[in-house]
Structure 1
């Protein structure tokens, strides 16, 4: 999926639509939010904007991530770091990038310590990477949460692109 998003899809879009390939943004929700973060962090300068809803921020240290990574990447936990947004932001050396994240405070996955946005925020601060993390009262992991705040994300991308 990573190669599809970072290599194949941009080529398909560029070949079929009148776009400026130097101005790309990426966003996603949950595991897709994590994917958006790692795509931006692993490809400095490729994306001018990035945002996420309720991303899994530190999969190496949560039950979901450990299960997924062991199945997809094997047992070498050091190799997992190349697909963990918290580890990637800690060593990011690219052009300035603001990670724009919305997280519902009533998200059961947040409460179950599956998402760990505080770890991403801490690692980003250590490395001087800007993070706009908005903890939204009364919202969970649902479509309604995304529908409520998607306009803000579109405006974020429009401003940077």
Structure 2
């Protein structure tokens, strides 16, 4: 697979690359941003030596939102890991209805492989993010440890995607964290809307295959600690009940998950990147430990 390098930007002694490529999973052109820390730019860097953090964004976002607002790159350069910022859905699939609402369709791929038509031809973000993209980037950036030293995090829809991806792929990711994740999507309006359309309403067991609150119950892989930040003034948390992190914490406890699930509900913070950027240092430290940095 060939990537087009659309822009390279110097940042925090490293480099942010804005890329695009044709995807076989989504059958569309996809954008992705990659931050390389200074250590990854050295002429003598060894292949596969730079750890990686995969960051999954939330509803409506593109790769640019987190790249421009999270300040994750400062700490990535400090600790010496790269960051991959994928897009959140196919774009330009030209499916009727994909642009009708902000929380479904374009910008809202929900990190599943759709099984219901017409979405199943293009909306295969699970396979794209966890397999196709990482494999392709390993050729573009051979210095990155995309196959054996990678962790995962995300925000909101992306926080759910990070947790689900961790539990569905034992051993693939060294650690996981999340900012305000949709923790029990089969039991909230956003999940019901997206799962119902992408996976169908006639087989709700398929929904549970992507729900972290259910996946943790049967997880048998390595149990790293899990860090979750949640803003107490986040309307999606205390008013709309879209997020429900306590459901996930209880499920992990009931299942005897061996790692610590550290849910930090912080007063005064909402759902925005002001919230995310306030706590990225904690998440960078969390992942740096598991990535061996």
Mark yes or no: TM-score above 0.5.
Answer: yes
Q: Which residue in the other structure is 1:2 paired with?
A: 126
Q: 1:155: how far off?
A: 1.2
How many residues are treated as equivalent by the alignment? 161
Counterpart-to-counterpart distance in 2, 1:128 and 1:104: 26
Q: Which residue in the other structure is 1:32 paired with?
A: 158
Structure 2 runs not aligned, ≥5 long: 1-124
Highest RCO, 1 vs 2 (Cα 8 Å, sep ≥ 6)? 1
Q: 1:104: how far off?
A: 0.5
Q: Secondary structure at the match of 2:274?
A: helix
Q: Give the counterpart of 1:55 among 165, 172, 181.
A: 181
Counterpart-to-counterpart distance in 2, 1:16 and 1:64: 35
1:123 aligns with 2:251: yes
The structure whose residues are more often helix, as a share, is 1
> What is the TM-score with the length of structure 2 in the denominator?
0.54
Q: Give the counterpart of 2:228 among 87, 101, 117.
A: 101
The structure whose residues are more often strand, as a share, is 2
Q: 1:99: how far off?
A: 1.8
Counterpart-to-counterpart distance in 1, 2:255 and 2:140: 38
Q: Which residue in the other structure is 1:42 paired with?
A: 168
- Please give the root-mean-square deviation of Cα atoms over the aligned residues, in Å: 1.0
> What is the TM-score with the length of structure 1 in the denominator?
0.96
1:73 aligns with 2:199: yes
Runs of 4+ in 1 over 4 A off after TM superposition: none
